[in-house]
């Protein structure tokens, strides 16, 4: 079909997510813009593309830190919603884009967009984070992102036979480390005081971090609440 005056809407962005009301997209945009860090991360854009040339995700995905800075600066509500729904989880968060001669921080903008997506429990975000829940469980309960017992061949088959060898010898290999705080520890990266973990749980509760978890994974939230509340009551 050729474009006619009836079907041509110059300057009017086409909504890629028409199921979401424009007002909702505006609300999310303002949540990002009203974050106190926003004005530290965006000063405008020269369109120079230095951020894109430095960006690892731009090489392997349809992803552009320049577009993100541009869309935010133009206050293009529709485009920003597209970015939230489709792009933000491709960022590698390496902050190579801090080379920006204008002083922008596109990686920081992505962090703000991600926070808003998580806080509002967006469907696309819940989907992306589904396979990641066990890591959140570990970091919130143990205060460590990773632990030796996470090195299982099922999860890291592409790391080679080394993983299976490690998994079979984990207990004894961990004892063969001279560092006192590591020796023998398999379910965390190091030995952490119980008091320290209780302080960490208090931080999660006091800062609203548990509400964030509830938005993305209610099952995980229930699991964490059970353990943490019991520990805090005992502690």
Partner 1 sequence: MTTAVQDILERKSQAVAPDPKRAPTHDIRETLYELEAKGEIILQRVPEPFVEVITKYGRTKRIPIEHTWHHKSCGQCGHIPGYTSSVYWLHRQFNLDFLDPTDQTSCTGWNYYASATSNAVAQAAVMVRNFAAAYETGYFPLIHCGTSYGHYKEIREQLVHHKSLRDEVRRVLDKLGKPLVLPEEIVHYSEWVHVMRHRIAERQRVDLSMLTATVHPACHYYKIVAEDAIYDPDIYGGQRTATVTATLEALGIHVADYSTWFDCCGFGFRHILVQRDFTRSFAVLRKIETMKQEVDPDLTVTHDTGCVTTLDKSQFAAKAHERKVGIPVLSDAQVAALAMGAHPFRVIQFHWHSTDWRPLLEKIGVDWRRYWEEFQEDLEAIRAGKKAGITWQEADQPVL
- Among residue numbers 172 through 231, which ones bind partner 1 (CB under 8 A)? 172-184, 188-193, 195-197, 199-200, 202-204, 206-209, 212-213, 216
Alpha-carbon separation of residue 159 from 57, 135, 153, 162, 188 (angstroms): 22, 18, 8, 7, 20
Please identify, using beta-carbon distances, which residue of 98 and 225 lies nearer to partner 1.
98
Among 17, 24, 50, 61, binds partner 1 (CB under 8 A): 61
**On the CB side of 138, how many CA atoms lie within 13 Å of its CA?**
16
| Contact region with partner 1 (CB under 8 A), list: 2-10, 19-27, 166-174, 224-232 | 166-174
Angle at 125 between CA 13 and CA 212, to 5 degrees: 120
Cβ within 8 Å of residue 102, ≥6 positions away: 43, 44, 45, 46
Show the binding pattern over residues 23-42: x = contacts partner 1 (CB under 8 A), - = does not: -------------xx--x--
Please identify, using beta-carbon distances, which residue of 15 and 128 lies nearer to partner 1.
128
Q: Nearest distance from residue 15's CB to partner 1, in Å?
A: 25
Among 20, 52, 73, 92, binds partner 1 (CB under 8 A): 92
Show the binding pattern over residues 138-157: x = contacts partner 1 (CB under 8 A), - = does not: -x---xxxxxx-xx----x-
Neighbours of 235 (CB within 10 A): 12
Cα–Cα distance, 150 to 186 (Å, whole number): 9
Continuous segment of H or E residues that includes residue 229 = helix 218-234
Please identify, using beta-carbon distances, which residue of 57 and 66 lies nearer to partner 1.
57
Among 96, 122, 224, 228, binds partner 1 (CB under 8 A): 96
The reply to whether 59 sits near partner 1 by the rule CB under 8 A is yes
Q: Nearest distance from residue 2's CB to partner 1, in Å?
A: 40
Q: Nearest distance from residue 11's CB to partner 1, in Å?
A: 33
Cα–Cα distance, 135 to 147 (Å, whole number): 10
Q: Judge whether 143 and 200 are in contact, CB under 8 Å.
A: yes
Phi, psi angle pair for 135, to nearest 5°? -75, -40
The reply to whether 123 sits near partner 1 by the rule CB under 8 A is no
């Amino acid at each position: 079909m050729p474009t006619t005056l009836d079907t041509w809407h110059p300057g009017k962005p086409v909504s890629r997510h028409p199921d979401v009301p424009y007002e909702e997209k505006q609300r999310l945009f303002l949540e990002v813009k009203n974050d106190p860090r926003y004005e530290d991360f965006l000063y405008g854009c020269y369109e120079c593309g230095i951020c894109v040339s430095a960006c690892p995700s731009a090489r392997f995905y349809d992803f552009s830190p320049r577009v993100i800075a541009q869309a935010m600066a133009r206050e293009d509500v529709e485009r920003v919603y597209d970015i939230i729904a489709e792009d933000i989880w491709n960022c590698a968060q390496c902050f190579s884009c801090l080379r920006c001669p204008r002083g922008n921080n596109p990686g920081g903008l992505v962090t703000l967009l991600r926070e808003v997506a998580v806080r509002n429990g967006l469907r696309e975000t819940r989907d992306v984070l589904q396979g990641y829940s066990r890591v959140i469980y570990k970091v919130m309960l143990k205060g460590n992102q990773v632990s030796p017992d996470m090195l299982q061949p099922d999860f890291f088959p592409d790391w080679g036979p080394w993983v299976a060898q490690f998994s079979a010898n984990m207990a004894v290999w961990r004892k063969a480390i001279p560092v006192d705080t590591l020796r023998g520890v398999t379910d965390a990266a190091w030995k952490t005081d119980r008091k320290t973990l209780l302080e960490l749980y208090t931080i999660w509760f006091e800062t609203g971090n548990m509400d964030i978890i509830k938005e993305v994974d209610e099952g995980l939230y229930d699991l964490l609440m059970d353990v943490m509340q019991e520990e805090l009551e005992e502690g």
